[in-house]
Structure 1
């Protein structure tokens, strides 16, 4: 029987035609409303529907997928941080400029979070989260495209056997290539750089797009999770999803470590080892992997219903018990309504104080998220692969443990909001104490490199005109590292029995004996070995402790933020908090610390039009 005939049979025959038509219309509206209600709790879309998918429309499954999605989003952030020194060297970008690039996502988040939290409260939130994840896929592909647009670079190819053999065959090794390293009697010419702004604009555009996905995923996702989980289970669910997200940085840094062990052009054979500061790893491979996996996770996220069936059952029960749900009230989406909501949040003292406390914490501490691998490479002379492995797999493993431990304690003992706020304050004080410990964890060998860089730029090599010479460190018999053969005053080079490049006639290198014989003033290509491993282990122990303690306040801080605001303002409050944190914390912090790091640079990779990247820092002052 067709729907129309069935509806007409259910209408009384004694009604007039007008009344019968009105009754049929009401019946159709009821059926459509029921169908709409059923669509809201059905998993999937288009042809990807069915009872098989509906079995996964549970709180646990959503929290798991949300946590896994956050894991891969965090992997993207961590991978970018892990490869940041490689990007600096490859595209000759100063740290301050790269700090500006890294805040591109926070700029988008700042402008978009409040609007997303306010206007997207009644939409199909899982699908919007899926859109956010798809923008992260675009972010990965843009970062990867740099390699395919600009290639490995001439500086990297010069350090491969294939390019070196070609140089020897064409006879260029004794020409300009040699002049760029050895002492010259007349003023050197600066090196031309084909493109300096193209890579920077692509990197900034990628970060700008990432901010859109970040705002959609975090602001909408947290509100959806809190609305669709039982309040007693929220702390455990929140800790579990946070734990999964905390695995992201560990895996992201590990992926960066593996990729950076390969040379930037895997088809060539490099003449240097990964420990050499001139080594450039294959940063672009990881972006392809992340893009593919994030695309699959985005497709899974879009399959969740607008409202979970268990949540709908609780909502109907509340309606049956005449309990009004604030989320079901008619919301004013005008600008005046937004202004009223903003004024209401501004009078919430707990929300305001907690937000600004978080901003101060982010400004002072979260910058280490970006620059910790760079700091380890600079201070403790570790390879980029080792630095990213330590920052990710080791240290962030303690972060994941701290999140799980705090979630268990909060779920079992259910401390008061005052107790959770007090613990957050204790965590801040411990973090400050731990950061101050970093000042005294130095390395004598690393500091010696800095002092030799100043020495090699003195009047001894001033006549060699080394201002635009590539950073190509050499090691003297006294175990002193010089910036290049030019800075050591070397006049000639040859090959020894081991195939190493041997520089001779180095006027600025003190001979190893008391007799000053020019023939004994020589150096070998490559930096001298510096052993800072014990100091690195001490630094790593302190960092792991800070990660463990700091992560224990993540869940408690978020619970305070969620519980101190009414349910109808939850999404908007999260958006406003994210916007203010980006404006006052996430955006100025990397720019300020990037400028501070550049201030202590000793050796710049100068070109005709650009100061380039920094090759060597004053480690003691920087520390």
Structure 2
């Protein structure tokens, strides 16, 4: 038994993700630098907006694909539909996760081919002749007859560049903001499907589809108009930082309305209600036993929920005290269920059907409110994304852009992308009411959560992380304001000096 589930195939998935990450990571820092170097200064925000819009279209299509895959059973093609006795809303359902990987891997391979044909350098936008090497501006354009840099020459520039970036206060503060904001966003998006499942009773397939449809298209629109706004009004760095700060703060305040989109906890005997129907949350297994099922000798580790005709879910037909059944497959009905009959909410001969009881009608209404709220928040936040990103780009010198954007991407992945799902998941797991059991008796996946505590953790942790991020944001505004005043004073002094020089011959 111990050797049966001990497959090492997970290593292939891990190695595949590592290779995929190695391939996709250089595209953003180097691609953004490539675009910034050859575009006009007033056009680059718009181009970057288009680029970020495209990076949202991909996940949107991915969510639709994931929704389709999650709706198919994991053993697609090897197990007949009539042999599956659980539905997609069941906590034990596993979708065909592997199907999406195969499809996306094939598309990735085709999408990578055009990158081979990009030239080393382009004509600067607005110019008609081939650009010359302009070291004075800090931009080094590689010519075909130029010798390639050795690894040693590249490595020896690493520490000086790193020191310069480390001493750049705007850049370092922006990395702090990114880590905090991305930690909140990554944690939320990772567990949003599970949140919709547990809070509103949706299947994984429906949850993924709703997230993609409601959130991603509106983010595309926000990115596009954010970049267009920057291009049209030629916003400077300080103005961009102001726009990003106040628009993001507005979205943060709207976000708190999510605490009112609540749905009543699903009644499960022994977990969220007593067998008499009294509301109570229990994290211990002994509450699953009651007088109505004490003579059944039921296993407490099993999760095979049934819905009684009293509207209460029972962890298994045995714990519902059922003595008989009729029908086969998904249409099986359990009869003479003593616990259902004893609850006082049904007829004397209580019955139950497979699966958990459906939530109240109130849940569907609250789900729509939650999705509309997430749509509004996504749009407002995406409007602030492009001005905020331009603060990062404009805080770097031309020769620092590739390296600076690369370090920024690395920091966001290492300090936010990797750890945030881990601690989000660990905290969410503390709210588990019923754990599944593996073949050999070990602890499996969580089958049911305390949705009230889940909601406070899921919504509260991002609120704390994002709240802290406004401290470095305010510091950036102060630094840029001071810098703008200094530059304005220098320009004024220069103008006065020139005026004095012009008047000297007259004297």
Fold agreement, TM-score > 0.5: yes
1:408-447 residue pairs with structure 2 within 5 A? Answer: 408-446=228-266
Aligned equivalent of 2:187, options 340, 358, 367 = 367
* Alignment check: 8 A CA contact 1:476 1:524 kept: yes
Superposition deviation, residue 240 in structure 1: 0.9
SS at match of 2:447: strand
Aligned equivalent of 1:327, options 133, 140, 149 = 140
Q: Tell me: CA distance 1:383–1:328, structure 2 relative to 1, closer, same or farther (3 Å).
A: closer
1:360-509 residue pairs with structure 2 within 5 A? Answer: 360-446=180-266, 451-452=272-273, 457-460=287-290, 464-469=297-302, 471-495=303-327, 500-509=331-340
Distance 2:131 2:309 in 1: 83
* Alignment check: 8 A CA contact 2:324 2:334 kept: yes
SS at match of 2:333: strand
Provide, for residues 546-600 of structure 1, a one-character-per-residue CA deviation record: whole Å limited to 9, x for no partner: 1101111222222111111111111111122122222322222111101011111
- Report the equivalent of 1:524: 353
Aligned equivalent of 2:427, options 596, 606, 612 = 596
Distance 2:100 2:413 in 1: 27
- Report the equivalent of 1:610: 442
SS at match of 1:487: coil
1:528-539 residue pairs with structure 2 within 5 A? Answer: 528-531=357-360, 532-539=363-370
Provide, for residues 368-410 of structure 1, a one-character-per-residue CA deviation record: whole Å limited to 9, x for no partner: 2211111111111112221111111221111111111111111
Q: TM-score, normalised by structure 2?
A: 0.76
Distance 2:339 2:3 in 1: 30
Q: Tell me: CA distance 1:197–1:272, structure 2 relative to 1, closer, same or farther (3 Å).
A: closer
Aligned equivalent of 2:411, options 580, 586, 590 = 580
SS at match of 1:444: coil
Distance 1:427 1:358 in 2: 16
* Alignment check: 8 A CA contact 1:505 1:522 kept: yes
Q: Tell me: CA distance 1:356–1:514, structure 2 relative to 1, closer, same or farther (3 Å).
A: closer
Unaligned runs of 5+ in 2: 143-148, 275-280, 456-507
Provide, for residues 88-130 of structure 1, a one-character-per-residue CA deviation record: whole Å limited to 9, x for no partner: xxxxxxxxxxxxxxxxxxxxxxxxxxxxxxxxxxxxxxxxxxx
- Report the equivalent of 2:489: none
* 1:620 paired to 2:441: no
* 1:568 paired to 2:399: yes
Distance 2:266 2:401 in 1: 50
SS at match of 2:43: helix
SS at match of 1:419: helix
1:26-65 residue pairs with structure 2 within 5 A? Answer: none
* Alignment check: 8 A CA contact 1:228 1:311 kept: yes
* 1:352 paired to 2:172: yes
Q: Tell me: CA distance 1:512–1:579, structure 2 relative to 1, closer, same or farther (3 Å).
A: closer
Distance 2:119 2:69 in 1: 38
Distance 1:552 1:202 in 2: 39
SS at match of 1:605: strand
Distance 2:135 2:31 in 1: 28
* Alignment check: 8 A CA contact 1:424 1:553 kept: yes
- Report the equivalent of 1:92: none
Higher relative contact order, chain-length normalized (CA < 8 Å, sep 6+): 1
SS at match of 1:616: strand
Unaligned runs of 5+ in 1: 1-190
1:76-225 residue pairs with structure 2 within 5 A? Answer: 194-196=4-6, 198-225=8-35
Q: Tell me: CA distance 1:434–1:201, structure 2 relative to 1, closer, same or farther (3 Å).
A: farther
Provide, for residues 420-474 of structure 1, a one-character-per-residue CA deviation record: whole Å limited to 9, x for no partner: 11222224423433443222211115376861495784331577342332x2210
4+ aligned runs moved over 6 Å, structure 1: 311-315, 329-332
Distance 1:516 1:541 in 2: 41
SS at match of 1:256: helix
Aligned equivalent of 2:58, options 241, 248, 251 = 248
Count matched residues: 428
Q: Could you tell which deviates more after superposition, 421-430 or 230-239? A: 421-430
* Alignment check: 8 A CA contact 1:318 1:324 kept: no
* 1:556 paired to 2:369: no
Superposition deviation, residue 205 in structure 1: 2.7
* Alignment check: 8 A CA contact 2:268 2:315 kept: no
Provide, for residues 4-26 of structure 1, a one-character-per-residue CA deviation record: whole Å limited to 9, x for no partner: xxxxxxxxxxxxxxxxxxxxxxx
* 1:341 paired to 2:161: yes
Larger helix percent: 1
Q: Tell me: CA distance 1:326–1:619, structure 2 relative to 1, closer, same or farther (3 Å).
A: same
- Report the equivalent of 2:468: none
* Alignment check: 8 A CA contact 1:315 1:325 kept: no
* Alignment check: 8 A CA contact 2:265 2:272 kept: no
Distance 2:93 2:416 in 1: 33
Distance 2:3 2:364 in 1: 36
Superposition deviation, residue 203 in structure 1: 3.4
Q: Tell me: CA distance 1:328–1:253, structure 2 relative to 1, closer, same or farther (3 Å).
A: closer
Q: Tell me: CA distance 1:313–1:426, structure 2 relative to 1, closer, same or farther (3 Å).
A: closer
Superposition deviation, residue 511 in structure 1: 3.5
* Alignment check: 8 A CA contact 1:447 1:618 kept: no
Distance 1:609 1:513 in 2: 35
SS at match of 1:508: helix
* Alignment check: 8 A CA contact 1:468 1:605 kept: yes
